[in-house]
Amino acid sequence: MKNLVKFLSFAALVAAFTTSCTEDDPCKDVVCGDFGSCNEGVCECVYGYEQDADGLCNTTWAAKFAAGPNAPAADTVYGETGNYTQAYNMTVSVTDSVNLSTTNLGGFGANNVVNMEVTSSYDILIDDTDIGGRTFNGTGTISGSEITLNYTVTYSDNTVDTCETVITK
């Protein structure tokens, strides 16, 4: 009887472990791309990447913000010396998965380069000083084919313009 109890206990233990080992792995057939991993059957992309149309983590956040060359931009500027609107062309280039470089932001010319950080799939952080000593601070978003930037430009004499730029891709 004592051996029977030992045998049944051992058999129950083996059955418990065997059952848990045969459960299906929810990630077994899931492919997440070069910049993702599977967690409980769902792809999770690394910071700076999102799923493409095929569900693969191969698309950078920054890629959707690329515009130009010569993408049309329109500014509404609320400045200390008055309010005005202007239209010009600019370029938004991808530097890496989470960084962008803009040329001619604010209509300050082709040598005016302002760098931005993409902080999520739809958001940008602007915090840079251009070659002319102007400091740009603000945020941006993307919706469809429009990028909207809301930022301030602080000049070397400490005057400040508050700007909204809409870039059409």
Q: Are 65 and 100 in contact (CB under 8 A)?
A: yes
The tens digit of pLDDT for each residue in 87-133 reads 999 999 999 999 999 999 999 998 899 999 999 989 999 999 999 99
Q: Which helix (H) or strand (E) holds 2?
A: helix 2-21
| The predicted structure's pLDDT at residue 80 | 77
> Nearest Cα to 32, choosing from 19, 22, 23, 41?
41
DSSP string, 53-91: TTS-S-EETGGGG-EEEEEEEEEEEEETTEEEEEEEEEE
Residues of the chain with CATH 2.40.128.420: 63-168
Q: Is 76 exposed, middle or buried (0-12, 13-18, 19+ CB in 10 A)?
A: middle
166 or 70, which is more confident? Answer: 166
Percent of the chain with pLDDT over 70: 87
pLDDT at 32 over 90: yes
- What is the per-residue pLDDT across 6-17, written as a single tens digit (0 to 9) for each? 444 555 545 555
Return the CA Rg of the chain.
27
Tell me if the pTM is above 0.75.
yes
Give 63-168's CATH code, choosing from 3.30.70.270, 2.40.128.420, 1.20.120.1200, 1.10.1140.10: 2.40.128.420
